[in-house]
A and B are shown apart, each in its own frame.
Chain A
Amino acid sequence: MENPFQETLIQKNRAEPCSVVIFGATGDLTHRKLIPALYNIAACGDLPPQFKVVGFARREKSDDVFRSELETANKKHSRQAHTQELWSGFSQSIHYHQSEFQDVEGYKALGRLLDQFDVERGTTANRLFYLASAPEFFKPILEHLKAAGLHVPPQGKWARVVCEKPFGKDLATARGLNEAVANTFAEKDTYRIDHYLGKETAQNIMVLRFANSIFEPNWNSRYIDHIQITCAENLGMEGGRGGYYDTAGALRDMVQNHLFQLLSLVAMEPPTDLSADAVRDEKVKVIRSLRPLIGPNAVGQNVIRAQYTTGSVDGVARPGYRQEDRVNPESQTEAYVALRLFVDTWRWQGVPFYIRVGKQLPKKATEISVHFKRPPQVPFATSKLIDNSENTLVIRIQPDEGMALRILCKQPGQALSMQPVKMDFRYSSSFGKASPEAYERLLLDAMAGDATLFARRDEVENAWKFIDEIQAAWHKSDTPPPMCEYPAGSWGPKEADQLLAQNGHEWRLL
């Protein structure tokens, strides 16, 4: 028998009853993102009934201490106001389970705890295992989950796993991890987080392209000159970030995942339907169509890596990258990377995609800009004006989410002179309401079984395959391309400007 009242639930993804186990639950991510996200899901009435969260970590602590630590964090980080009334009910669903990640007994005890919840519920529930630990623990956690039999869902229910980033540090480790996941969970039950995909504006890219008839006909090499994707950070290695960052670098930390996801959304063909696999099939084709950059020459010609030197951001003096806390003084890790990429498909033949990402840049901004070709002839314009006549569509991912279109207009007056003007749409000025946080959307989707906004195995591996070639040219060749420099607070190294100048382009001034 079907629930006859279900029709009222179909507006959003509806979570099914479940227990969520967070591995690494005393960590920063759980406090700042995961618990506030679950609390906000509860505040919107979207949490399934008889919901349970189990925090799994090493330190000894009671449920009450754990709840009160999370309460303090939730008050600080929750999107919607923290109310005692909701928290007191919600927090009763939170439990702490002390165990080492490597201790199989701890997983067996976890199994007994989950069974006990099922007894209290009077029914078995679904199980979502969230790997929010450091990535080196992903494998042992998965193996122990399997050893304890927790990967097998109760009869008629599901067991899923959510993996945090970073998903591997190269193709080999990502494959190893994927093997470990595949040994434990089916691909359909595996949810690899890329929180960029949970952002409203990233989701809006597909709507913009496929729900508006004016863009798609122009969305190809005939009308588009080039595309730029920028992810700028105005911070460096504050808060001990250098320790992890120096082992990863901009290319692995940002490009392999977030920026390639944005690139895929911008460049993909229309999916046949909106199912998770149809969308991801199209996205992965973009990554597979990237023209490979193999060897130090090709990499040197198309990829610029750099570190910042001392400078200042917002009037505050900043150290150089190698002087940062927890960074190796002889580090060969890039804090900035710029790439010129080509997607070898009919649609994108000859269109450069420029990607840049870096730390200690003048401001924090993530944007995609689509630069249209100039009109073949502008009868009433001087050559200077024609230079300045390209239409640009900008999709701002964060902050100040929105879109802007740059067009040419006639300046008022007798003479026929033109000037670029900007049509600007800002989410926050048009919609007063704050969007849900990316983690709210993603957690709800994982509970509801919608994998559209999660990375699939082949997407991750193909992205690593591409990235590995660049890493090899940098770190394994005898003639590695140079590590460039830029002063903190500037828009990156001059070599990155030259990269675009070769094609007669320049970076958009953000």
Chain B
Amino acid sequence: MPFPALSENDLARLGMEVPLARVDKSLAELWENDSAKTRASLINFAIYTESASDLSRNMELLEAITAEHACRALLILNLPDAPAPNARAFINALCRPYQGQQVVCSEQVAFILEQATPQAVQNIVFAHLDSDLPLIVLWQGTLTRNFDERLYSHIDTLIVDSSLWQNPAIELSALTTALESETADFDVRDLSWTRSHFLRTSLATCFQDARALEHLPAITQIEITHASEHRMAALLLGAWIAQRLGGTPSSNLTFPRANGPSIQFTLTSVSTGPSLQKLHLTGPNVQIQISRHSDSRFVQVCTSCPNHKTQEIYPADVETDAELIGEQLSRAGGRTLYSSLIPQLRELLK
């Protein structure tokens, strides 16, 4: 049965097609025939997508990720609107050089599913896991469909990218439902939150100095400049800063504070450049300006308050999906601050 959205070329890049029932056997054969290759795996890393046009991008993503994180990689493309149910499987070894001659490889299994139900998706995932290793899922589809309790109750870490959500309020509500479910025990990582990791670290570092810290309660304005598709990263950053300053988020972007002036929050969207480009905090006697230029891997941080003026350079956040996901995979498990920001974010999105 042909896949309208996929060329044979695309399918060929997925590796060798094998019958669904023979995936594990074929993987074993892959290694039997090549003694120079070493199979390595620390996690199960699955990407779930419903967009055929993302297939090639996802393959590149897996290649980049497996170069640093040995894993069993599962790529699941589900086309829920296909005319009839169908399933095909492809296997591949993603290899990188190691100590000159040998190669270390991750196994990749790709599935193209048509009209797959939540049960079918779960079954595909569960049947092809490397046992005993954690399951990390990058969910690119909507969380309102196929993201079923029986699936997420087995996930260790869920990675989403809220910048891709058509309707963030609905997705956040589905995510909250999943997180609150009794059987769920997964950590959630949002790449939009990861996009501000170093920016947050730079900001925190500015206030390690007591002279800057003294003026922090007087901050009244926060301005963030972001690339147009990264409004969620900016909102999350703003929600976090407001939360740390004791402000209550509201959808008009003015955050009243119990013990101090309200914080006015301004978002400026630009069409090109890194996801987060400027963060300015301003108060009567204090100004913190963190800015990043398009081609730079660093941010300039200027702090200015009475008796204290500094200019520092710090690493900027990584930008590509592979780097962002790599950052998350390098971190130990455990809940992040992100989950605690979801209520604030939902307020902002109202």
A273: Cβ under 8 A from any B Cβ = no
Digitize B202-222: 1 where CB-to-A-CB distance is under 8 Å, 0 elsewhere. Answer: 111111111101101100000
Number of A-B contacts (CB under 8 A): 99
B68: Cβ under 8 A from any A Cβ = yes
The minimal Cβ–Cβ distance linking A303 to chain B, given in whole angstroms, is 35
Q: Are B200 and A5 in contact (CB under 8 A)?
A: yes
Partner of A433, one of B309, B330, B331: B330
Q: Are A1 and B214 in contact (CB under 8 A)?
A: yes
Task: List CB contacts (< 8 Å) of A1-40 with chain B.
Answer: 1, 3-9, 11, 14, 16-17
The minimal Cβ–Cβ distance linking A27 to chain B, given in whole angstroms, is 28
B121: Cβ under 8 A from any A Cβ = no
Docked Cα-Cα span, A428 to B217, in Å, equals: 47
A429: Cβ under 8 A from any B Cβ = yes
Chain A residues whose C-beta falls within 8 Å of the C-beta of B271 in the assembled complex: none
Chain B residues whose C-beta falls within 8 Å of the C-beta of A414 in the assembled complex: none
Chain B residues whose C-beta falls within 8 Å of the C-beta of A429 in the assembled complex: 38, 40, 70, 98, 104
A482: Cβ under 8 A from any B Cβ = no
B20: Cβ under 8 A from any A Cβ = no
Which of B10-18, B44-52, B73-81, B311-319 forms contacts with chain A?
B311-319
Given contacts A6-B204, A122-B307, A433-B68, contact A50 B214 (CB under 8 A): no
Q: How large is the interface on B (under 10, 10 to 19, 20 to 34, 35 or more residues)?
A: 35 or more
B127: Cβ under 8 A from any A Cβ = no
B7: Cβ under 8 A from any A Cβ = no
Closest to A1 in B: B213
Docked Cα-Cα span, A126 to B200, in Å, equals: 24
Q: How large is the interface on A (under 10, 10 to 19, 20 to 34, 35 or more residues)?
A: 20 to 34
A154: Cβ under 8 A from any B Cβ = no
B9: Cβ under 8 A from any A Cβ = no
Q: Are A431 and B69 in contact (CB under 8 A)?
A: yes
Given contacts A49-B310, A50-B310, contact A122 B204 (CB under 8 A): no
Closest to B71 in A: A430
The minimal Cβ–Cβ distance linking A434 to chain B, given in whole angstroms, is 10
Task: List CB contacts (< 8 Å) of A56-108 with chain B.
Answer: 83, 85-86, 89-90
Docked Cα-Cα span, A16 to B201, in Å, equals: 14
Q: Are A431 and B68 in contact (CB under 8 A)?
A: yes
Task: List CB contacts (< 8 Å) of A403-456 with chain B.
Answer: 426, 428-433
Chain A residues whose C-beta falls within 8 Å of the C-beta of B308 in the assembled complex: 122-123
Given contacts A45-B198, A85-B297, contact A3 B211 (CB under 8 A): no
| A residues neighboring B (CB under 8 Å) | 1, 3-9, 11, 14, 16-17, 43-45, 48-50, 83, 85-86, 89-90, 121-123, 400, 426, 428-433
The 3 closest A-B pairs by CB, nearest first: A432-B68, A5-B204, A4-B244
Residue contacts A-B, CB under 8 angstroms, 23 given = A3-B213, A5-B241, A6-B208, A8-B337, A45-B202, A48-B208, A49-B206, A50-B310, A83-B297, A85-B297, A89-B298, A89-B313, A122-B309, A123-B209, A123-B211, A400-B99, A429-B40, A430-B41, A430-B70, A431-B68, A431-B69, A432-B67, A433-B330
